[in-house]
Structure 1
Amino acid sequence: MFYRQELRRLSQRNLVFAALAGSVLAIRFYFQIEAFNNSSVLLAGVFGGSGPLWVAIVEVLWLRAVFSRRVWAGISLSLVGGVIIALAGFDSGTSPGGNALLGAGLGLTAAFMSAFYLNFGRMARGQVSLLPYLWLIFSIAAVISLAVALLTGVPLTGYTDEALLRLIVLIITAHFFGHGAMNFSWKYMPATYVSVLSQIVVVTSAVGAYIYFNELPGPGQAIGSMVIVAGVIFVTFGRSSQKPD
């Protein structure tokens, strides 16, 4: 009941930005998934991982944000770390995929869309609580995703129990906890910081792959991960040295 009243009190401005965030989220997912379908995970991932750069550019040009040199250094390190990991994967024999150029373009488009998703989200989150905001953007994203699936002829049934279970786990972990944490953070820090800090998932996924699948990262992947961690540290300390928003 409390959240229903809060939703009714939302200003038109917040509703517009929430609607834009949900719409861009759905479009971003579409481009990112198509990038994986047309190229390797590494290639799509490294172009998709360029998000922090686009987020920073949009935030500077649109919101007139000013970042310290330490923050820009952290952004650069996070991007370099992703490139090192991708190159290490190709050196180990990973195929770039059947349509690498298209996959790279789609991944880059997804990264560019994330810049608007994060900044629209930050604009809307200032005056609304986390749960009603998540309900808004996830509902909008779900409706748009369903419409795209119907228009493109993607089947909605016929999947195995294992595939459905993996989908449920993905929704709970990545969608609710991952995106939920990101949306929580936008109320307290610029979107650029959130974007760079989220790059730590590259490192944690490598740790998870070692624990669950006994996949030991190679030297290049380990170096790239350490560079990303260094970038996160730079942004964290750069944030603490600046005045709060």
Structure 2
Amino acid sequence: MAGLAVAVVAVSTSAILVDVSDAPSLVKAVWRVVFMTALVAPFAVRERDQFESISGTDWVLVTVSGVLLAGHFAAWFASIDYTSIAASTTLVQTQPAFVAVGAWLLLDERVTARVAGGIVVAIAGSVLLSAGGLLGGATAGPNPSLGNALAVLGAASAAGYVLAGRSVRQRLSLAPYVFVVYGVCAATLVAVAVWQGTPLAGYAAHEWVLFLGMAVGPGLFGHTVINWALKYVESSVVSVSLLGEPVGSAVLALVLLAEVPGPFTVVGGAVILVGIAVTATGRNT
């Protein structure tokens, strides 16, 4: 549980680091994942014998996971440019609801009444939170509707990443798994940047510090530690613990950036958190 607490604190810094960087959102995503891949590479090399045991089907699943993770980063990083940090980080945490629906549709897992109720509550909270941007409010962002939609897309992509890679993680240890997924994710983001003609170099020194910070903090000590914790802590506990991210991000945004969430963001975010908590805790009931 101590490791999980560290991970939640680490991922809470992600939105702040992304927001204070002036680089294009795609560039932030590219270098975060490139540095994440480089950081886990030495650990993956120590277990390189595991790569030989990966089947063709698992390679396909890992590749899909990496592409979906790239979609998650690209959509969520872009969302922060258009909506508030509180709204973005709360909406992107609707991932457990998408996972529950995806598991029902793709993996034939039964959805209980509690899970269904939690999903409905979470969606209602999302509508309420988005209404704040449409009606106006403190530090809502230049285009809250677009930003909120991108955050939800980021949540759906993250859910797909979890669903595609869940079975592979059971057969492959942490370092080799995240190295391949991060590597595919990085290659996908670089390809998109090249296709769009987005320059990947020529940024100020402080931007490179921020890119590395995104990789070390929310990357290595955040999501990688979360993947490690899944081996020792029930998935429902991990999911509920991650609900601390939007709370932590909103607090940091208030303290560091003076970004005061409006009433719709506060109430809608609270409703979303209740819905996700019900969804996550109801999956084994």
- Map 1:207-218 → 2, pairs under 5 A: 207-213=251-257, 215-218=259-262
Is the Cα contact below 8 Å between 1:193 and 1:235 reproduced in 2?
no
**2:136 paired with 1:120:** no
TM-score normalised per structure 2: 0.68
| Structure 2 match to 1:17 | 61
**2:258 paired with 1:203:** no
| Structure 2 match to 1:54 | 98
TM-score normalised per structure 1: 0.77
Q: Tell me the alpha carbon deviations over residues 138-170 of structure 1, each in whole angstroms, 9 at most, x when there is no partner.
A: 111111211221221111112112222222111
CA displacement at 1:16 relative to structure 2: 1.9
| Structure 2 match to 1:27 | 71
| Structure 2 match to 1:238 | 282
**1:220–1:186 distance in 2 versus 1, CA, 3 Å:** same
Q: Tell me the alpha carbon deviations over residues 202-241 of structure 1, each in whole angstroms, 9 at most, x when there is no partner.
A: 22212223444455544443333432442344235424x5
Structure-1 separation of matches of 2:280 and 2:100? 15
CA displacement at 1:2 relative to structure 2: 4.9
Structure-1 separation of matches of 2:275 and 2:144? 31
CA displacement at 1:175 relative to structure 2: 2.2
Structure-1 separation of matches of 2:243 and 2:120? 12
> Structure 2: which 5+ residue stretches go unaligned?
1-44
| Structure 1 match to 2:137 | 92
**1:78–1:180 distance in 2 versus 1, CA, 3 Å:** farther
- Map 1:144-183 → 2, pairs under 5 A: 144-183=188-227
Structure-2 separation of matches of 1:95 and 1:209? 13
**1:165–1:29 distance in 2 versus 1, CA, 3 Å:** same
What is the percentage of aligned positions where both structures have the same residue?
A: 27
> Structure 1: which 5+ residue stretches go unaligned?
none
CA displacement at 1:50 relative to structure 2: 4.8
Q: Tell me the alpha carbon deviations over residues 96-132 of structure 1, each in whole angstroms, 9 at most, x when there is no partner.
A: 636955x566555444333321101212211111111
Q: 1:40 aligns with which of 83, 90, 93?
A: 83
Q: Secondary structure at the match of 1:126?
A: helix
**2:268 paired with 1:224:** yes
What amino acid does structure 1 have at the position aligned with 2:175? L
Structure-2 separation of matches of 1:227 and 1:5? 46
Is the Cα contact below 8 Å between 1:54 and 1:112 reproduced in 2?
yes
Is the Cα contact below 8 Å between 1:21 and 1:116 reproduced in 2?
yes
**1:74–1:98 distance in 2 versus 1, CA, 3 Å:** closer
Is the Cα contact below 8 Å between 2:94 and 2:272 reproduced in 1?
no
**1:171–1:114 distance in 2 versus 1, CA, 3 Å:** same
Q: Secondary structure at the match of 2:172?
A: coil
RMSD over equivalenced CA pairs, Å: 3.4
Query: Which region of structure 1 is more displaced relative to structure 2, 212-221 or 130-139?
Result: 212-221
Query: Which region of structure 1 is more displaced relative to structure 2, 8-17 or 26-35?
Result: 26-35
